[in-house]
Structure 1
Amino acid sequence: MLPSLKVLLLTSCQLNNSPDSLVHSNLTSLETLDISFNLAPKRLAPNWFWGLTSLKLLDISWSQFSGPIPDEIGNMTSMVELYLSHNNLVGMIPSNLKKLCNLETLFIHDAGINGSITE
């Protein structure tokens, strides 16, 4: 579909549903995905954007996402900035977050999750 696309900004677009998966959209070069401020409740599905391993920035803040953070987050090893704040997430901070060795910025305040970040 768009194999050369590097930045996709869908901030405040009133998205009220999400595709089953972005991986099948051939967004293999995507480095920035911002879907913040889309206030329609939705569950974080493991197959949605977690397979986009080239992502360096993911912002899903203020989007009323719910449920646990999928374990697939550990596959996003290129991630530098991750914004999860102001959602309705549940559970613990995933232990495989430690696999994100390039991560420099992590915003998880008021996200609904708890726990500690281990090395």
Structure 2
Amino acid sequence: MGLVGTLPREIGNLSFLVSLNASHNSFHGLIPPSIFNMSFLEVLALKNNSLSSSLPLDMCIHNLHRLKWLRISFNELYGEIPSSLGQCSQLEFLSLYNNNFSGFVPTEIGNLTKLQELYLGENKLTGPIPSTIGNLSNLQDLHLSSNKFSGPIPSTIGNLSNLSSLWLSSNKLNGELPFSICNLI
């Protein structure tokens, strides 16, 4: 729509909003914390803006229990991925792709058992890929490329029997491919 400016903090007053899509605009600045208090929200899409903030550490603890779709890719978000994200148990789609997130992927990500698509590529994530990713039995697309992940590929990736797309390129992974990956063929 060509919208320019900041997202107003009052946007959280739309407490019965089910879907918020402000993608492909020119919003900049912070994501108002009030957005993460919208308890009826099922879709939050802020893709392709210039938003620059971190995500609240408690983003899924008090609300967002109905959230199924979170797409805030192609922004300038930074900081760590909050472990509380693992409490957004209804998530089916999660894209934090192409931001500046750093640190480890929280092990709590393995709690998102309804997740079908996970896009964390093009960030600055480090450490090992958490083995709890193997808990995501509905996962079809897993994109972790262009980060700074190190260590071996977890053998639990072989548990992802619905996986059709796996992107691990441009990381610092080492070791052999786990034999369990053969389960995906």
Does the TM-score normalized on the shorter chain lie above 0.5?
yes
Find the partner of 2:84 among 21, 32, 45: 21
Find the partner of 1:46 among 101, 104, 107: 107
Partner of 1:5: 67
Deviations 1:36-75 (A, max 9, x none): 111242222212x232111100000001100001111111
Q: Choose 1 or 2 for highest CA Rg.
A: 2
- How many corresponding residue pairs? 116
Q: Map 1:1-119 onto structure 2 (within 5 A).
A: 1-17=63-79, 18-24=81-87, 27-47=88-108, 49-114=109-174, 115-118=176-179, 119=182
Tell me which amino acid in the other structure corresponds to 1:57: E
| Whole-Å separation in 2 of the counterparts to 1:105 and 1:117 | 17
Shift of 1:117: 4.2
Structural RMSD (CA)? 1.5
Unaligned runs of 5+ in 2: 1-62
Shift of 1:21: 2.1
| Runs of 4+ off more than 4 Å | none
Tell me which amino acid in the other structure corresponds to 2:83: D
| Whole-Å separation in 1 of the counterparts to 2:156 and 2:110 | 13
Tell me which amino acid in the other structure corresponds to 1:83: H
Unaligned runs of 5+ in 1: none
Could you tell me the percent identity over the aligned residues? 31
Say which structure, 1 or 2, has more relative contact order (CA 8 Å, 6+ apart): 1
| Whole-Å separation in 2 of the counterparts to 1:109 and 1:66 | 14
Choose between structure 1 and 2: higher helix proportion: 2
Deviations 1:1-55 (A, max 9, x none): 233322110102322223232123xx222111000111242222212x2321111
The secondary structure found in structure 2 opposite 1:89 is strand
| Whole-Å separation in 1 of the counterparts to 2:73 and 2:114 | 20
TM-score normalised by the chain length of structure 1 = 0.87
